[in-house]
Amino acid sequence: MPMNNTRKQAGYKYKDVLTNHPNRSQFERDLSAIYASNTLSCDHSFVGLINIDNFKLVNHTYSYLFGDQLLIKMIHRLNQIPEIKNFVYRFGGDEFAFIVDNKHGEHIFEIAQKITYVLDLPFEIEGKELSITVSMGLVYMKEGEQSVMELLRKLNLAVNECKSSGKNKFVLYDSFMKKNYEDTLTLEVALKKAVKSGFDEFDVVFQPIIDATNGEISSAEALMRWNSVELGVVPPVRFIPVAETSGMIILLGKYILDRSLRQVKEWLDAKLDISVSVNFSVLQMLQSDLISSVMEALQLYKVPAKYLTIEITESLIINDITRVIEILNALRGIGVRIAIDDFGTGYSSLNHLRRLPLDYVKIDRSFIFNIEFDPYTLAFIDTITKFCHFKNTKVCCEGIETITQRKMLENIDVDFLQGYLFSKPISALEFCNLLKR
């Protein structure tokens, strides 16, 4: 790789001040050298761009000095990987790039997996253990058409594709990404406009949660729906990730909490003893005014705290678990109940279940789909249920669609059931009519 000669005279202009590693200017310089030397050397060479997921939250939760130490440790780890050693660059902020030469290029996915594994290991900083995830874009150098700027543009498109599709992954650039990125930008503009115009395009629906012991409705999960004037009906799987990356999730979260508690108050006034579960994003959970804002909402609608369950995702656990436990204990201290949603799909382990102060564990629908055909899946749910019951935590299974699934789960003493077998998400009025049957 004809880069070393171009780097011999590199001074501070080409060094990142924080990490003392090559910076973006050196990255562009090295790429130009490769393109100038021989186009054949680009056939299998590729570049990668790494972005730390939710890095701002690390800075806000701890400090900027803490975040700086993470960046230094991270680039040190990356330089331990033989295929990219000495060709790792810090772009600034939480972005790093790397170059892989022709001889290793055929192993693009293996190298990406190796990078992901190395960065998945916990970091020890200031006596705290921190786990992170990253979004990584990959582009073959021949895609750059001999242009460094074009290569960087496509790298950013690949990273944006990671971010918009859930983060914590790597993506190889393809020509469809430009269209996807443009669609995401259009969605973000429409979302911001809809939020700022007063939430008229949004609605909240409720899906019943069934008590497995008697088959009666015990509570409801509140879910957001968006019927955009510009885009039509936009499914949550499309607009929620955009809301999170744009910060709009804070305002949307406040809206759905207010709507949900107002509805619970109406049910209670009608002598209907129904609580509600509301999903909170990682960004919401790490807000400094979380406790006070939840208490204000409860007081505004005069709803006892026990009628609110906050559902968190497993991704919250990658943050400092000690801090997470403090937050959850504070919420439970005011009487709010806590559920972990989509259990089994992400970062949780039995050790996390043991340590976290939880009232409910919601097992993801992806496990339920297989229980009629895979005894191991049912055994997994049975194990989790027994473990949770040992620490007085209830278990809810999502995605129930058949009577057979229901009976199998009832036989292993699951506490609550949720899914289309009982009801799809419905309006507050329809839910009220369902309760009165």
DSSP state string for 96-156: EEEEE-GGGGGGHHHHHHHHHHHHHSPEEETTEEE---EEEEEEEGGGGTT-HHHHHHHHH
**pLDDT-wise least confident of 338-347, 355-364, 400-409:** 338-347
For 199-435, give the CATH class. alpha beta
Q: Which residues contact 308 (CB under 8 A, 6 or more apart)?
A: 260, 261, 264, 275, 276, 278, 294, 298, 336, 337
391 CB neighbour count, 10 Å cutoff: 12
**Sequence letter at residue 428:** A
Smallest Cα–Cα separation from 114: which of 91, 143, 134?
134
Find, among 253, 241, 244, the residue nearest to 202 by Cα.
253
Q: Any bridge partners for residue 118, and if so which?
A: none
Q: Among residues 253, 132, 275, 268, which one has the least CA distance to residue 204?
A: 253
Give 196's contacts (C-beta < 8 A, 6+ positions apart). none
Q: What pLDDT shows up at residue 381?
A: 93
- Judged against a pLDDT cut of 90, whether residue 317 lies above it is answered with no
The chain-wide mean pLDDT, for the chain, equals 88
Looking at per-residue pLDDT, the higher value among 355 and 350 belongs to 355
Fill in the DSSP letter of residue 384.
H
Helices (H), 232-305: 236-246, 249-269, 282-285, 290-301
Lowest pLDDT segment from 122-131, 135-144, 295-304: 135-144
Question: Which pairs with CB-CB distance under 8 Å and at least 24 residues apart come from 118-121?
Answer: 118/77, 118/78, 118/80, 118/81, 119/50, 119/74, 119/77, 119/78, 121/77
Q: What percentage of the chain reaches a pLDDT higher than 70?
A: 92
Asked if the model's pLDDT at residue 357 lies above 90, the reply is: yes
Q: Sign of the CA dihedral 336, 337, 342, 348? A: positive
Same topology, domains 4-175 and 199-435? Answer is no
Domain ranges of the chain: 4-175, 199-435
Instruction: Read off the pLDDT of residues 30-76 as tens digits, 9 standing for 90 and up.
Output: 988 888 876 555 667 889 999 998 888 888 788 889 999 999 999 99
The pLDDT of residue 144: 65
pLDDT at 338: 96
Pairwise CA distance, residues 122 & 119, whole Å: 8
Q: What is the pLDDT of residue 358?
A: 94
The mean-pLDDT minimum among 131-140, 162-171, 187-196, 204-213 falls in: 162-171
pLDDT of residue 267: 93
| Residue 81, number of CB atoms within 10 A of its CB | 16
Q: Is the pLDDT of residue 228 over 90?
A: yes
Assigned token pair, 274: 């129904």
**Residue 208 confidence (pLDDT) above 90:** yes
What integer pLDDT is reported at residue 199 of this predicted model?
92
Contact 367, 380 (CB under 8 A): yes
Both structure tokens of 69: 């130490």
Q: How far is the C-alpha of 92 from the C-alpha of 17, rounded, in Å?
A: 10
Please determine, for residue 347, whether its predicted confidence score (pLDDT) is greater than 60: no
Range from 233-242, 257-266, 400-409 carrying the lowest mean pLDDT: 233-242
What integer is the mean pLDDT of 328-337? Answer: 96
Q: What is the pLDDT of residue 343?
A: 83
The rounded distance, in Å, linking the Cα atoms of 252 and 245 is 13
Q: What's the pLDDT score for residue 11?
A: 59
- pLDDT for the residue 348: 56
Confidence class for position 301, pLDDT limits 50, 70, 90 = very high
Q: pLDDT tens digits for 143-199?
A: 766 788 888 988 988 998 888 777 888 988 886 667 777 788 899 999 999 999 999
pLDDT of the residue at 5: 52
In a 3-state reduction of DSSP, which class is residue 237? helix
Judge whether residue 9 has pLDDT over 60: no
Q: Which two tokens stand for residue 154?
A: 């496509």
The pLDDT assigned to 165 comes to: 75
Average pLDDT of 21-38? 87
CB 399 within 8 A of CB 365: yes
* CATH number given to 4-175: 3.30.70.270
How far out from the chain centre does Cα 186 lie?
21
pLDDT tier for residue 4 given thresholds of 50, 70 and 90:
low
Query: How would residue 82 be classed by pLDDT, with cut points 50, 70 and 90?
Result: confident
3-state SS class at 332? helix
